Amino acid sequence: MNTKNPEQLGAAIRTRRRQLKVTQKDLAMTCGTGLRFIIDLEKGKPTCQIGKVLQVLQALGLKLQITIPGVDSGQGETP
């Protein structure tokens, strides 16, 4: 899935959380964040802290991948 803005990322996180049948409160406790952070993240608040976002993604089994346009993503980095 390509996410292009905070709202799309929040929607993907919300969808995954619901698939796992996890409440926002339980996710917040698991990630060591506040409930308000999870609510804001799922709403697409653009100022959410990236470190906490990464914790949430990991807790939900989601992976963040960065790609460079025009570069074959199947290739490894050359040392």
Which two three-digit tokens encode residue 50?
């990236």
All structural domains of the chain, each given as residue ranges with its CATH number in brackets, are: 6-59 (1.10.260.40)
Is residue 79 predicted with pLDDT exceeding 60? no
The reported pLDDT for the residue numbered 2 is 84
pLDDT of residue 1: 78
Question: How far from 11 is each of 31, 69, 73, CA to CA, in Å?
Answer: 18, 24, 25
pLDDT at residue 76 in the model? 52
Q: 3-state DSSP call for residue 24?
A: helix
Give per-residue pLDDT as tens, 17-65.
999 999 999 999 999 999 999 999 999 999 999 999 999 999 999 999 9
